[in-house]
Structure 1
Amino acid sequence: MRYPDGGGLTAKQRARREQVRFEAAELFAQDIGPPQVARLLRVSRKSAYAWHARWRAGGVEALCSKGLCGRRSRMRPQWRDWPAAELDKGPAAHGWDEERGWTLARVALVIARRFHVRFSPAQTWRILRQMGFTPQLPAHRSAERDEHRVATWTRTTWPEVGKE
């Protein structure tokens, strides 16, 4: 099964699904068939039949969650504080033009230099998102912009224009 954002289930969601399987095991123990279990628990018949087969073969223990699936990230949990601090310093601290900002390729390169582990832009984005970062674009302002004149226009001219 594929999940949006490639994230899979959280621990809370896995626990909830495990609880549903345990409820199914209780119903199986009462001699209720998989089609009725599927209807009662609002799951697919395919899942109910699969749970029934596992329950018959190994009991309730066979319906326990197997935990996280997939390969573990090469980004170690103890490493996660360092990139956050480095990103706060800005790209200029690492030799890039401050105006261009951070890109995924730059962040991946900074991590690779420090930890000797290369990540693709997609992997880098996943790591940053897990760390709480969000995509942000700088506000592009004209170099000739006069804030005082903009404020004056907004205060005096805009109310007249807005009436029309």
Structure 2
Amino acid sequence: MDAVVLFGRGVSNAVIAKRLRVTERSVQRWRKAWRENGPAALRSKGPMCRPKISPSQFKALEAELDKGPVAHGWPDQTWTLARIQNVIGRRLHQRLSIAAVYQTMRRGGWSRQAPARRALERDEAAASGWVKDVWPHVE
């Protein structure tokens, strides 16, 4: 909305672009929209990216995750982003990137957690190195 004030003052696109740290092309598009539809045309319409999984699909995903990784064929009780991605693909028939899985889990109230200390009987050869991507459910 800072651009609207500057448009009203007759400030050039180059000066607005420099002041707002955007490209001149963006300022040109904004100015055109402002001329055609007024300041309301420049109001935010929200984020461009919408969640790829609906709330009902997320509930179904949570039900699957609550069964645990062993129920889905993995040998241990560790949820990694790749494993969650696999469950989403199999159960919801959607392909999400690892980054999208991370964002989906964060939006759903899940947090990434790692063990507070190393177990004495830890088998270094069996440790996968993916501990930082563990997703236990936060109640």
1:84 paired with 2:62, answer yes
Q: Name the aligned partner's letter for residue 95 of structure 2.
A: R
Q: 2:99, 2:21 → 1: CA distance?
A: 33
Residue equivalent to 1:132 = 109
> Structure 2 stretches of 5 or more lacking a match?
123-139
CA change 1:112–1:52 in 2 (3 A) is: closer
Alignment of 1:1-164 (within 5 A): 21=1, 25=4, 28-29=7-8, 32-34=9-11, 43-44=20-21, 46=24, 51-70=30-49, 72-99=50-77, 101-138=78-115, 139-143=117-121
Query: Larger relative contact order (C-alpha < 8 A, sep ≥ 6)?
Result: 2
Contact kept? 1:25, 1:55, Cα under 8 Å: yes
CA change 1:107–1:27 in 2 (3 A) is: closer
Contact kept? 1:34, 1:49, Cα under 8 Å: no
Q: Name the aligned partner's letter for residue 65 of structure 1.
A: S
Q: 1:61, 1:87 → 2: CA distance?
A: 44
Give the number of aligned pairs: 115
Please identify the structure whose Cα radius of gyration is greater. Answer: 1
SS of equivalent residue, structure 1 residue 124: helix
Cα deviation for residue 142 of structure 1 reads: 0.9
CA change 1:116–1:60 in 2 (3 A) is: same
What's the TM-score once normalised by structure 2's chain length? 0.59
* Structure 1 vs Structure 2 CA RMSD: 3.2
What's the TM-score once normalised by structure 1's chain length? 0.52
CA change 1:48–1:34 in 2 (3 A) is: farther
Contact kept? 1:34, 1:52, Cα under 8 Å: no
List structure 1 runs of 4+ shifted beyond 6 angstroms: none
Cα deviation for residue 141 of structure 1 reads: 0.8
Q: 1:118, 1:48 → 2: CA distance?
A: 36
Q: 1:61, 1:90 → 2: CA distance?
A: 49
SS of equivalent residue, structure 1 residue 80: helix
Q: 1:119, 1:51 → 2: CA distance?
A: 33
